[in-house]
Structure 1
Amino acid sequence: MSVHQRVTSTLPGCVLLVAVVLLHGSSFAADPNPADARSDSACESAEDCYRAALVQKGSPDKTVTHEDRLRAKIDRLRLVMEQHPGSLWAKRAGLVMGVILAEREPVDAVRFLKAAQRDFPVLEDYIRFWLGESLLKMGDALPAAMLFESVPEVVPDTLLSNRVKFRGGEAWYRVGQCRKAIDLLTRAVSQSPQDSAAPSALLSLADCQIRENQTAEGYAALKQAWIYHPQTTEAREAMARLVAGMGSEMWRPTPDDLYARARAFFALSLHGEAVDELQKFLLAAPQHPRRNEARLKLGTSLVRLKRYDQARQVFQDLVADRVSESSEATVWLARIYLRQGDGDRLLAMSQSFPKLSLSAEQKAAILLFAGMWQEDQAQNDQALATYRQAAQIGGDSGQKSEALWRIGWIQYRTGRLPEAVESFQQVVNGKDDGQFTPQVLYWMARALDSQKDDRVADVYGQLCRQYPLSYYGQLAGSCTSAPSSNTPSGASSPEASASTYEGIRMDLWRDPHYRKAIELKLLGLDQEAARELAWLTETYARDRRALLELSVLLSEAGAYYQALRIARLNFRDGLERGGDSIPPALWRVAYPTGYLPTIQAYAGNQVDPYLVAAIIREESQYDSRAVSPVGAVGLMQVMLATAQTVARRLGVPGVMRAELFNQETNIQLGVGYLAQLLQQFSGNVMYTVAAYNAGPVAVSDWVQKYRDKEPDEFVELIPYQETRQYVKRVLRSYREYHRLERGTCTARSLDKVC
């Protein structure tokens, strides 16, 4: 039974129509040619005509502008209302028109939205909010303010309560009623200090407070904008107002202000700016109680910027000072020594533990770094001794498993296969470790196979039973992986499945937030629908059946990150290891395909779109707002410098950091960079994925050093742990995408395209 059949056959009549439309998906884009709308056979029925206005057909046309698409959508919505007046679908079209026109033609928007109030009481809070925005756009700030304030009174459990505080405060500010504005804006900023509306709200709040002779409070609001939103234009405006407002008293930030602003930059992964602010703070406050904490952050930011020599000096000074931050600085220093190949200092550090105040975990980490350097220098016996010491110190932690794995790996590579099997067996006998257990099972089987040992079948069997869908299960080849998403895996009878889904949906249908989410989804307002669904996931956090349903709906609403997060938190064992039966719909949640049309538009024949999807899945988990610790941005985690280089090559106008949060721009530049790497590495997928993470220069060095190794060995020999694990995750997801969408990945070797 298909997903569509499964859902539509199980829903009661009152929900059936909703579910059918949801399963077909929606998008804000419409047919870019509005002239075709009036002759389109899709408009023979009201529902089909309405859906045609929302659903994007085929891949995005790069020659069609956003404005063109919006006009086409408006034309199609008008067609629904003209050809099917009075129908529920025409009423929905009118409501969507109201939302679209709120910014463009607010007078018309008000007319549509007021009509919708009668027809969609479940969306009363949203419609009042949109009406308020339209009135504010028209300049009618007083009725807008009153509408915003009425939302929580009319709908007490609305999820818009803080949004209406921000907008209501702004409306009262424009009316000139500062006391009301101050009350609302103060509460809004207090409850959501990092909201995107907070910086402008703080400027309005400050202006009102100064007008009301609350000068100190007004300056405090300006300082808050400058300190906690340092990357915004409002921060610059706040600084200008502070300087101008002080008159003869020159305003200067205090050391605490500087440090708070530095931490805000650090949290945003804007490390260049964080370094500047941290250095100002350290210069201004030589005796500040948080000085050493700031030095630690300074060293960390310098590492993120790959300014290793400067970071090294910062951490060395911290270690020498013997302060509470010295132990963490010691581990960072060990990382730098390893990255720079300074083995002498790294070994000296690993032998001076009695002089250092380190935890067992920190000691084990440094020993592992030292062993890695020795291994890289082919000092295998010394590395074995160092790893054994790390395993002893590591106790029952993952560090012990890693040390034992590395011992076995050296023994395997140097031909001491019986010893390698014994070392691997120690990991298998210990606590089940999702990272190292499948790894040692695979290489234990390889070692046994090389010795023609009959136990090889049992070890492969154990790997396939416990981890059939893991990277190593895929490598084994003989594991029985779950069927494609078109074939339900491990499900009970269709009748039982139908009964389960009907019960879930009926339970959820009683919740007004669920009904609201369904209606918003039908309107194509996916972000709003996702907000309601995300709230429901907290309400039903312990109900796995409800979480399954909500994750599917979130994914259908385009909230891939939230949906994938739920799937990984609650169904990881089945999805990542193959241990549980997984409903077919959940595979779509775990391996989203919503961006494939955009990917295909830019990938052409140069890049397998499923490779791009796998990279997005592992880079950002489909979070378009993701920022990595080193400052990589968006879906494909593109660094700004890389993006600008690729943009110049593709003839894309100057790209700034903020534009990388745009999904299409990020995919365009990420795909462009991936295509460049594939060409550079002659289509070798394994090298390309490694280079996407570590850079092509490092990977070219590794290729020269290990070009005679088999692909599975090459991956294990990647020196950077982050890159090594990244390659495994991406290649696993890449093959899973092919299994789910095409039944299998035909390439057996890791370096080949499926």
Structure 2
Amino acid sequence: MMKERKVWISLAVGAGALALVSGVVLPIEKLLKQDAQPSADLGAPETVSSKPNTIGAPGKVVSPLVAQSAQQRAGTLEAVVNKRDASLERNRARYMLASDLVAQGQGEKALEPLKNLENDYPVLAPQILLKRAQAYQAAGRQKDAIAAWQEIVKQHQGDPAAAEALFLLGKNNPNYWDQALTQFPAHPRSLEIAKLRFQKNQKQLPVLLTLAKYGVDTKGYTQILDKLTSEFASQLKPADWDAIAFGYWENLVYDKAAIAYSRAPQTPQNVYRSGRGLHLTGTAGSEARYQQVVRQFPKSEEAGLALMRLASLADTPQSAIAYYDQVAQHFPSRAAEALLEKSKKLDTLNSAKTAAMMRQLVLSQYADSNAAAEMRWTYAQDRAKAGDLKLAREWAAPILKSRSKSDIAAQAGFWVGKWSQRLGQDEVAKEAYEQVLKQHPESYYAWRSAGMLGWNVGDFSTVRSLNPPVRKPAARPELLAGSDAMKELYQMGQDRDAWAYWQVEFRDRTNPTVAEQFTDGIMRLGIGDNLDGIYMVSSLRDRETPEDQEHYQHLVQQPAYWQALYPFPFVEEIESWSQQRQLNPMLVTALIRQESRFEPNIRSSVGAAGLMQVMPETASFIATNIKLKEYKLDDPQDNINLGTWYLDHTHQEYANNSMLAIASYNAGPGAVGGWVSKAKTQDADEFVEQIPYQETRGYVKSVLGNYWNYMRLYNPELSQRLSQLS
């Protein structure tokens, strides 16, 4: 008989007053030392605008070498080059070897593998010429380098490699820079030119527009937009305002974005955002903009959303109900949500009978909706609190069986299992846990379900001590969008060059396809922009059109999607300090992912810094304890050193209970100690659900959910077990 596992422990609450802003733990064992095996080749990807069919790893020789240093892979590359065949892998090896040699300053030696390579490897002919020019430079042959750049401009004037050549030639002839700005305004080198010219003269409208349209990640970007809108407003066209609005929106300056969107082309999205920007900043006028969306674009999805916003802003329940009725009548995808909100307004009007009818309508006609899931879960929790576990289970069970995409489904399924165990129905519990693992394998509750089933994944009190083996994919995934040249560069780890191509090729940044957005996320991860890279991939789930959802649903079946969401930056630092602190490296990875998305230079609004978001005063305390005289919080080594010490400290304070240690990392030991002393339950899962701070409650689930995802993706035994279950 399966028994419910009790993981609650008696705690001696420490009196320390340290606090760190929450972070995410990184799950890594001896990642670089594992004998990795390539994923199965799932076939060739589709083109930029097509539905993604496959994301496969090539499983070739060169791509797996990307993770190695130039010294580590030199022998293998030379062996492939010396085979003297005409294979793609040999061409790749020649290019990668030459790149490594150039980076090491061995220009003359790099010229040998590049000899006539453009004839054998035409897809990268412009880049090979560029690499040859770099080799000439490294060898001190400047005239030959200039000749190579000129050849690129002449023979490959439409290729992004020409932008690099134009930049270098333009150092002595500004006409080349003019050409680069005209032909390749989005190329990183063109943005560099624009920044240099802006520094010399800040009143050049074309330069400002180039930076506004393509330099969203530029330091001081919003100040550039401010200058444009304050000094050149009368000269700006609607398309310019569109780019400015998007730039403000991406940088979360919503009030200014709202103004810019009102002057951009009046599309449903632009008009809606002009209202939403005012709404988010509490600025007057949002209702009028929402009304404009409904009036001007009555059948658009934005109109339905605008009606929901208008209902939330309505002065009276009756006015709100009128908006909800419009939504329910004209926007089927939002009808359930509108009816549920309508029922809440009816409750305030003491129309209990009509409110109950609305809720019953949601449950009967929209059983698979998120609104129905929300209602069922509320009822289930109420019954559980009253001690009626059988009725609580009856309310919760349909949520897991429905097609609802709500995050509540995994939570409900897990608690169906817990309640069933308490009712002595172990087989029902086992079925519920397995359903959570099948239908919501990425969730925190999948981890808890696996633990309840007796899988060796750790629980709250044992996670710290685990040191699970990890196998990282040997080869890189195939990209879904972009040119063949860009894809080749990416496969060889030439990420900056591939990124330059992508900047030129990525045309519609405001409305990318699923394939383009996924590719953009992958490319950002390649250049170390982990925050935006993970965001670009994770936000694909918010796509709403049926076509986009179909593409997304196909994408999430591919390992590359999940591997992009749970990457492995700073492996060596995390592995080293995790070992020294005797911490599960996957837990540390998971915490860092939650805290900073692996960004060394990130700062929170309260001053927490770096990968593990260490507060300066906490860092000072730790440094004194470990006798660290000098440190920099934006240095990954120092930051992970300090952060892992503190994570070890919180574990020690709570008898190695990782749930409480993680909560303490986020909220501080004083708060957590108070919660423990006042806890009305001895069940750890119930305690998590009752954590008073919503942020900390979500943080604990996110960190441990991250840990689980690293485990399920990269631990061979667990991956195989989940595959068999599915």
Q: With the length of structure 2 as denominator, give the TM-score of the two structures.
A: 0.56
Deviation of 1:168 after TM superposition, in Å, equals: 3.0
* Aligned residue among 173, 182, 191 for 1:176: 173
Contact 1:408 1:423 survives alignment (8 Å): yes
**Aligned equivalents of 2:527, 2:707: Cα separation in 1:** 23
For residue 194 of structure 2, what is the aligned residue in structure 1?
202
Matches within 5 A, 1:305-316: 311=281, 313-314=282-283
Deviates more, 1:356-365 or 1:415-424: 356-365
1:110-161 CA-partner distances (Å, limit 9, x unpaired)? x3443332175546543422344577899999865653464487689xxx93
Deviation of 1:436 after TM superposition, in Å, equals: 3.8
Contact 1:421 1:448 survives alignment (8 Å): yes
For residue 615 of structure 1, what is the aligned residue in structure 2?
591
SS state at 1:467 partner: helix
* Aligned residue among 314, 321, 328 for 1:354: 321
Contact 1:268 1:627 survives alignment (8 Å): no
Deviates more, 1:92-101 or 1:458-467: 92-101
Deviation of 1:220 after TM superposition, in Å, equals: 2.5
For residue 731 of structure 1, what is the aligned residue in structure 2?
704
For residue 463 of structure 1, what is the aligned residue in structure 2?
433
**Aligned equivalents of 1:730, 1:241: Cα separation in 2:** 41
- Higher-RCO chain (CA-CA 8 Å, sequence separation at least 6): 2
For residue 100 of structure 1, what is the aligned residue in structure 2?
103
Matches within 5 A, 1:66-81: none
Matches within 5 A, 1:544-555: none
Contact 1:278 1:294 survives alignment (8 Å): yes
Is residue 186 from structure 1 mapped to residue 182 from structure 2 by the alignment?
yes
**Aligned equivalents of 1:515, 1:140: Cα separation in 2:** 28
* Aligned residue among 414, 425, 431 for 2:403: 431
Contact 2:594 2:702 survives alignment (8 Å): yes
Point out the structure with the larger helix share. 1
SS state at 2:387 partner: coil
Contact 1:421 1:447 survives alignment (8 Å): yes
Matches within 5 A, 1:617-632: none
**Aligned equivalents of 1:572, 1:647: Cα separation in 2:** 42
Deviation of 1:716 after TM superposition, in Å, equals: 3.1
Deviation of 1:443 after TM superposition, in Å, equals: 1.7
Residue identity opposite 2:182 in structure 1 = T
For residue 572 of structure 2, what is the aligned residue in structure 1?
597
For residue 83 of structure 1, what is the aligned residue in structure 2?
none
For residue 364 of structure 1, what is the aligned residue in structure 2?
337
Matches within 5 A, 1:339-738: 353-354=320-321, 356=323, 359-360=327-328, 361=334, 364=337, 388=359, 391=362, 396-431=368-403, 433=405, 435-452=407-424, 454=425, 456-464=426-434, 467=437, 469=441, 471-476=444-449, 477=451, 479=453, 520=492, 525=494, 595-603=570-578, 604-605=580-581, 607-616=583-592, 636=611, 671=644, 674=647, 683-690=656-663, 706=679, 708=681, 710-718=683-691, 727-735=700-708, 737=710
1:541-595 CA-partner distances (Å, limit 9, x unpaired)? xxxxxxxxxx9999999999699969x999999999xxx9x99x99988865563
Residues 420, 512 of structure 1: alpha-carbon distance in 2 compared, 3 angstrom cutoff: same
Contact 2:342 2:358 survives alignment (8 Å): no
Residue identity opposite 1:460 in structure 2 = K
**Aligned equivalents of 1:552, 1:668: Cα separation in 2:** 28
Residue identity opposite 2:191 in structure 1 = P
* Aligned residue among 158, 161, 166 for 2:163: 166
Structure 1 unaligned regions, length at least 5 = 11-17, 32-41, 52-86, 244-249, 301-310, 336-344, 375-380, 489-500, 506-510, 536-550, 746-754
Residue identity opposite 2:159 in structure 1 = S
* Aligned residue among 214, 219, 240 for 2:205: 219
Residue identity opposite 2:421 in structure 1 = D
Residues 700, 478 of structure 1: alpha-carbon distance in 2 compared, 3 angstrom cutoff: closer
SS state at 2:184 partner: helix
Residues 528, 201 of structure 1: alpha-carbon distance in 2 compared, 3 angstrom cutoff: closer
Deviation of 1:467 after TM superposition, in Å, equals: 1.8
**Aligned equivalents of 2:190, 2:638: Cα separation in 1:** 26
For residue 46 of structure 2, what is the aligned residue in structure 1?
none
Deviation of 1:408 after TM superposition, in Å, equals: 0.9
For residue 251 of structure 2, what is the aligned residue in structure 1?
268
Deviation of 1:605 after TM superposition, in Å, equals: 0.6
For residue 129 of structure 2, what is the aligned residue in structure 1?
128
Residue identity opposite 1:161 in structure 2 = D
SS state at 1:615 partner: helix
Contact 1:141 1:174 survives alignment (8 Å): no
Contact 1:296 1:325 survives alignment (8 Å): no
Contact 2:91 2:117 survives alignment (8 Å): no
**Aligned equivalents of 1:405, 1:628: Cα separation in 2:** 37
For residue 115 of structure 1, what is the aligned residue in structure 2?
112
Residues 587, 196 of structure 1: alpha-carbon distance in 2 compared, 3 angstrom cutoff: closer
Contact 1:530 1:557 survives alignment (8 Å): yes
Is residue 147 from structure 1 mapped to residue 148 from structure 2 by the alignment?
yes
Residues 530, 723 of structure 1: alpha-carbon distance in 2 compared, 3 angstrom cutoff: farther
Q: With the length of structure 1 as denominator, give the TM-score of the two structures.
A: 0.54
* Aligned residue among 250, 272, 277 for 1:297: 277
Contact 1:295 1:314 survives alignment (8 Å): no
For residue 547 of structure 2, what is the aligned residue in structure 1?
none
1:195-217 CA-partner distances (Å, limit 9, x unpaired)? 54443232567899x9xxxx99x
**Aligned equivalents of 1:267, 1:421: Cα separation in 2:** 43
**Aligned equivalents of 1:727, 1:236: Cα separation in 2:** 34
Residue identity opposite 2:98 in structure 1 = L
Deviation of 1:694 after TM superposition, in Å, equals: 7.5
Matches within 5 A, 1:24-63: 26-28=67-69, 47=75
SS state at 1:614 partner: helix
1:337-379 CA-partner distances (Å, limit 9, x unpaired)? xxxxxxxx99x9767523546735498389679989x9xxxxx
For residue 543 of structure 1, what is the aligned residue in structure 2?
none
Deviation of 1:267 after TM superposition, in Å, equals: 0.7
1:144-195 CA-partner distances (Å, limit 9, x unpaired)? 5653464487689xxx932x243233234333262x5433321211xx3xx5
Contact 2:444 2:705 survives alignment (8 Å): yes
Deviation of 1:414 after TM superposition, in Å, equals: 1.9
Residues 471, 6 of structure 1: alpha-carbon distance in 2 compared, 3 angstrom cutoff: closer
Aligned residues: 572
Contact 1:444 1:459 survives alignment (8 Å): yes
Matches within 5 A, 1:212-251: 218-225=204-211, 229=215, 232=218, 251=231
Structure 2 unaligned regions, length at least 5 = 1-32, 42-58, 80-89, 295-303, 329-333, 458-466, 479-483, 505-520, 542-549, 624-628, 720-726
Contact 1:135 1:141 survives alignment (8 Å): yes
Deviation of 1:423 after TM superposition, in Å, equals: 1.0
**Aligned equivalents of 1:572, 1:284: Cα separation in 2:** 33
**Aligned equivalents of 1:49, 1:322: Cα separation in 2:** 60
Contact 1:166 1:201 survives alignment (8 Å): no
Deviates more, 1:688-697 or 1:466-475: 688-697
